[in-house]
Amino acid sequence: MIGFRIADTFTDSLARLTGDEQRAVKTTAFDLQLDPSKPGLSFHKLDKARDKSFWSVRASGDLRIIVHRTAQSLLLCYVDHHDKAYDWAERRKLMTHPTTGAAQWVEIRERVEEVVVRRPPTAAAKASEASELPAKPRLFAAHADVMLLAYGVPTDWLAAVRMADEDTVLDLVTHLPAEAAEALLELATGGVPKPARVATDVDPFAHPDAQRRFRTMADAEALMQALAFPWDRWITFLHPQQREWVARDYSGPARVAGTAGTGKTIVALHRAAHLAQSQPDARVLLTTFSKTLATALRLRLRRLIAPQPRLAERLEVEALDEVGVRLYESRFGPIQLATDSMIHDALAAAAAAIPAAKFNPAFVLTEWADLVDGWQLPSWEAYRDVKRLGRKVRLNEPQRLLLWEVFVSAREALAKSGMKTHAAMFSELASSQRVGDRRPFDHIVVDESQDLSIAQLKFLAAMAGDKPNGLFFAGDLGQRIFRTPFSWKSVGVDIRGRSRSLTVNYRTSHQIRMQADRLLGNQTADVDGNVDDRRGTVSVFNGPAPAIVAFDSEDAEIRGVATWLQARIADGMPPHEFGLFVRSAAEFARAQAAANAAQLPFRILDDTVESKTGEASICAMHLAKGLEFRAVAVMACDDDILPLQSRIESAADDSDLEEVYNTERHLLYVACTRARDYLMVSSVMPGSEFLEDLTPPP
């Protein structure tokens, strides 16, 4: 039986077809896999193609599948209407790189030059060019051929690479294989990329760089999964940088970090599947802080392990709070968890009963959440002596004693009504785990770990923190929007020396990533001194620059955003590829009005609603985690909305105010980085001060 493979270029081109066209193509793809010699399949050799192994197969009507066909293998390469499909094949050839040994698509230089639109310069332009600034320096002129080849640059493109300057490099890399493009972008931004791995086997498709482009389809079920979710291709095509951290053994807790779009969630998914696959008796938990995100993880993991469905018996995917409730009730019986409003009321009532306790209610609430309940301080002595990390309001001992009376009273009121806080639940679970006890999970993988609470991390440390490969975290400090920072090391989770950052961004264009990263700065550090450095990150594709626009009125903003949406619709973008974000539900009306004006069907997302095909998504920024759209509009970024005025007014001290500004800035970053290709950020003047940081200098 010949080898049957698909390329990522095939899944990408398939996704651009209509639903009916996709169904016809998939039917033909299954026929090709089952029996490529079937009489009904119409193979046509492409005589004009440089690669003489290219053939076309008629799917239906004008649709043609481009395949690379040899006696040993059949590769699905591309699909489109007749002329476009043929043009794609005539501009490419499949080659094995002479240095790395990886199978690559190589664009044919002269064919690329043919499609570049050249405008003859005017006389004024010629005169200006002669008297203008000197030519910009060539970025890669000093690099020897042997080094460029080691990065995966095709031999045919060495001369073009040497000619690249800062104005042409972004266009150049769009024509190169991904590993070469990533290395050159890293070089251009001051980094020192690692050379590509040289293959030690004879199969060019087995090279790690080739495996993210090409996948072998073992059977019809594997092909069905690969074709069912073409936009989720990064579950199928794992990047070598990601693969390194997925399969590694760690002596203690480990973390993979990286900016939005670098594939941290993909690493978490593959890590969970790897642990279950490599240890047949192990039970693995894949978890995160949000029920909505856990549902998304469950769906993606199901696709990933579809060829090995039995793994699901030992792979559990659930939100961390739900795991806590289930384990608590199995050990101690039913539990009633206090809501935020219950806790607020209990603290307010306790403070009102102590006339001398004249404290700002917001300060009391944050002192409770960040210290007393967060750390589950058991006694006055513990509260008196605790290090008030990040708390800038100084309290003398009599003030602390009054506050402690408030907290004790509130605890007693909650206990009397049969309520426990989430922190109390997780702390009791952590304390109940003893050495030698049977643990519910052998390995725990946590996505979006930057938003874990103190008690949740204590619980995780008690469950698996002392085991090799016991805990694996994926997160980005720049996307922390729910929790105040604290020391992981102080609760028994030390990731120093076992924390790595991903630097290749697959989801967000170079232009969007560069501007969004301006919101956060070059480095973000945690309390323990672990630093996430954003400077080495590169995106693998280009796109238009984000539109940052301030309007005179809400009506003008609605019309402007609607016009922008209509332009994307005119390009053929389907409704489900649009996301519209606002700071809170109070601004939903503006986003709805823009969508209606653009005749874009939509639904409003909340914690319980997921987007579906056929509708755009409108939601608040704090629900943006885990979402991805080709086009995103972030609306209503007005000065009194972002940062949210009510949060500023509730800040109890300078530390709280700084934390408000940090998390509000992170919210905007998260919303902007949900965009793949197109981003518009709009406001009514005066716009948010954050927009000044988001906008690059002229």
Residue 345 lies in a domain: yes
Residue 521 lies in a domain: no
Give Cβ neighbours of residue 200 (< 8 Å, ≥ 6 apart): none
- 652 shares a domain with 595: yes
Residue 14 lies in a domain: yes
- 689 shares a domain with 585: yes
- pTM given for the model: 0.78
CB neighbourhood size of 388 (10 A): 15
CB neighbourhood size of 497 (10 A): 11
Amino acid identity, position 587: E
Report how many domains make up the chain. 4
Give residue-wise pLDDT tens across range 270-316. 999 999 999 999 999 999 998 888 988 998 898 788 778 889 999 99
d(CA 359, CA 394): 13
- 270 shares a domain with 201: no
Assign residue 674 the CATH number of its domain. Answer: 3.40.50.300
- 584 shares a domain with 461: no
Residue 431 lies in a domain: no
- Whether 696 contacts 515, CB under 8 Å: yes
Exposed (0-12), middle (13-18) or buried (19+): which is 131, by Cβ within 10 Å?
A: exposed
Residue 131 lies in a domain: no
- 599 shares a domain with 468: no
Q: Pseudo-torsion of CA 606, 608, 611, 612, nearest 10°?
A: -150
Mean per-residue pLDDT pooled into runs of 10, the chain (698 residues): 86 87 92 83 91 94 94 94 96 95 90 46 48 73 93 94 88 90 85 82 86 82 68 57 86 92 90 94 94 88 83 94 96 96 95 88 88 94 78 74 95 96 96 80 95 94 92 88 81 90 85 90 75 76 92 97 96 92 96 97 75 81 89 96 84 73 91 95 95 83
Residue 525 lies in a domain: no
* Domain boundaries, position 483: 238-330+440-507
Residue 132 lies in a domain: no
Give residue-wise pLDDT tens across range 339-393. 999 999 999 999 999 988 888 888 899 889 989 999 999 999 999 888 765 555 5
